């Protein structure tokens, strides 16, 4: 018995297809995306399902981390918005080979009353024996995947031991490249960047500064290496020929002693701001490159009084360290704090007012749309396409029109006001009344609850973006 929760007779079932194939499977077993798509479309036609979307994860393993299966993540988000009723995939191993991840996603689906089924396998989750069978199948699939992972690790270890490359040229540091025959590639010095690598390694030992090395290399060779990339280059053991426990893995640029000397300099370049809790850490944003501004102590000298003043401030490290940005404002924390305190209440009141205005317009403009008629048209359109009565181009145009109408109707039915409860509570309880009693760490947590980011533009004006 297949896992079917909703009665098909209640309405036309809105189905989505999930297709996945790893690069290795496609080559070895022919589990192509096209063959899966054709099989699933035919299956849905036989079941009378209306296919409204296809999610395709190409080149992804079923053991890949959820965050790396982008189409699966999109499917989950659409499930939370109730855009479909059922997920159809070819076999269980197309869905998951990891028990823990399977149940994480299953919990989301069940909470949104969405079920799934396989076109070529049968499962039941309504009985204890059915759930046991499902767990056994997932365990077997996970074990097969683990064994494959072990074999790959063994092969990689053997390749490294023999000095062979396990990555492409993008996986090696500046000054190296991957070259050789298809099954006998090695990491060798890159003649085009060899001089740059030598210059970089010499300069860091002379200057002792990663930032100065970044500026020197970028200016001399017209490159755009950022501070973090430079730091990772300098920490790469391949520069003295060592990799994953194997000495003489590749031709070295420096000795081990010279490499350790550079590591000592790299460690000294790490600065910590832990002595001071920056109130807006993680909230200040560069208006030009979009990166988060970093807290630092801005020192100002006033010769007239023979005194130095230190101000907690913020700066763009893509400007300060890497010269990859041109934002030269250094917002002082005291000025930012005063602006936020003076304007946060008005910003919250504006947010609430704007949201209520939008909601009123939505309510006024809502039109009654017959969803059943649209679904029937979609079903007929799909039949025409599958029977070869219309071309794909015509099908795509008409499908997009009908699907947009259906989505518009469902969105208007499910429109929910933005949750403004925390902002209304802020106004009601005078959220700023206890602010001055908080330490900096607590102030940071306080603002992070309401603010997405803060920008100070180069003309000195500010913008607060609320969550």
3-state secondary structure 187-250: EEECCCCHHHHHHHHHHHHHHCCHHHHHHHHHHHHCCCCCHHHHHHHHCCHHHHCCECCECCCC
- 313, part of any domain: no
- Give the model's pLDDT for residue 36: 84
Confidence of residue 61 (pLDDT cuts 50, 70, 90): low
Nearest Cα to 368, choosing from 405, 400, 402, 416? 405
Spatial separation of the C-alpha atoms in residues 332 and 311, rounded to whole Å: 7
Whole-model pTM above 0.85? no
pLDDT, mean of residues 409-429 = 68
Which pLDDT value is given to residue 337? 95
Q: Do the domain assignments include residue 162? A: no
Is the residue at 23 inside a domain?
A: yes
Question: 125 lies in a domain?
Answer: yes
Alpha carbon separation from 141 to 26, 136, 460 (Å, rounded):
17, 9, 59
Number of folded domains in the chain? 3
- Distance between CA atoms of residues 260 and 142, nearest Å: 41
For residue 216, give its domain range: 176-268
**Residue 282 CA, distance from chain mean position:** 18
Report yes or no on 281 lying in a domain: no
**Max mean pLDDT range (19-23, 27-31, 436-440):** 436-440
Indicate whether 73 and 19 sit together in one domain: yes
Same domain flag for 139 and 183: no
Determine contact, residues 41/386, Cβ cutoff 8 Å: yes
130 with 198, same domain?
no
List pLDDT tens digits, range 393-402.
777 788 888 8
How confident is the model over 244-290, as pLDDT tens digits?
888 889 999 999 999 999 999 988 876 554 578 899 998 999 999 88
Of 16, 20, 19, 106, the residue nearest 62 (C-alpha): 20
Told to judge if 32 belongs to the known catalytic residues of this protein, a careful annotator would answer: no
Beta pairing class for 451-456 and 462-466: antiparallel
Whole-angstrom distance, CA of residue 330 vs CA of residue 334: 12
In the prediction, which pLDDT does 259 show? 95
Q: Pick the catalytic residue from 7, 22, 139, 334.
A: 22
- List all residues 6 or more positions away from 260 whose beta carbon is below 8 Å from its beta carbon: none
pLDDT of residue 136: 75
Three-state DSSP state, 267 = helix
In a shared domain, residues 120 and 194: no
For the segment 426-430, the average pLDDT, to the nearest whole number, is: 80
CA atoms of 71 and 64, how far apart (whole Å): 12
């Amino acid at each position: 018995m297949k896992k079917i929760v909703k009665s098909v007779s209640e309405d036309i079932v809105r189905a989505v297809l999930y297709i996945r194939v790893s690069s290795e499977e496609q080559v070895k077993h022919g589990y192509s995306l096209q063959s899966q798509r054709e099989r699933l479309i035919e299956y849905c036609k036989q079941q009378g399902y209306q296919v409204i979307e296809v999610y395709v994860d190409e080149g992804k393993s079923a053991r890949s981390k959820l965050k790396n299966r982008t189409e699966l993540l999109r499917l989950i988000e659409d499930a939370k918005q109730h855009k479909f009723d059922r997920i159809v995939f070819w076999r269980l191993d197309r869905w998951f080979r990891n028990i823990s991840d399977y149940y994480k996603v299953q919990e989301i689906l069940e909470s949104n009353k969405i079920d799934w089924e396989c076109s070529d396998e049968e499962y039941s989750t309504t009985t204890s024996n059915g759930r046991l069978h499902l767990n056994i199948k997932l365990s077997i699939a996970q074990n097969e995947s683990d064994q494959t992972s072990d074999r790959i690790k063994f092969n990689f270890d053997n390749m490294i031991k023999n000095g062979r490359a396990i990555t492409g040229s993008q996986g090696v540091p500046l000054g190296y490249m991957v070259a050789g025959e298809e099954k006998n590639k090695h990491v060798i010095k890159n003649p085009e960047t060899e001089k740059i690598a030598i210059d970089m390694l010499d300069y860091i030992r002379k200057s002792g500064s990663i930032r100065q090395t970044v500026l020197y290399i970028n200016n001399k060779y017209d490159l755009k290496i950022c501070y973090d990339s430079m730091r990772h280059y300098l920490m790469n053991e391949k520069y003295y020929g060592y990799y994953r426990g194997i000495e003489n893995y590749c031709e070295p640029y420096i000795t081990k002693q010279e490499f350790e000397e550079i590591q000592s300099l790299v460690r000294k370049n790490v600065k910590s701001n832990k002595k001071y809790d920056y109130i807006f850490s993680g909230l200040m944003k560069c208006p030009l490159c979009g990166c988060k501004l970093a807290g630092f102590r801005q020192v100002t000298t006033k010769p007239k009084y023979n005194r130095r003043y230190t101000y907690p401030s913020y700066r763009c490290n893509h400007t300060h360290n890497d010269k990859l940005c041109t934002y030269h404002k250094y917002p002082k924390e005291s000025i930012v704090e005063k602006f936020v305190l003076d304007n946060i209440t008005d910003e919250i009141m504006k947010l609430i007012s704007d949201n209520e205005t939008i909601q009123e317009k939505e309510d006024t403009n809502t039109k009654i749309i017959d969803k059943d008629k649209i679904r029937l048209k979609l079903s007929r359109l799909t039949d025409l396409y599958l029977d070869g009565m219309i071309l794909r181009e015509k099908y795509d145009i008409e499908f997009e029109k009908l699907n947009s109408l259906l989505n518009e109707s469902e969105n208007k039915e499910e429109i929910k006001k933005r949750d403004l409860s925390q902002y209304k509570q802020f106004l009601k309880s005078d959220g700023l009344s206890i602010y001055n009693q908080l330490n900096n760490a607590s102030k940071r947590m306080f603002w992070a609850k309401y603010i997405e980011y803060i920008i100070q533009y180069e003309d000195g004006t500010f913008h607060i973006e609320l969550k």
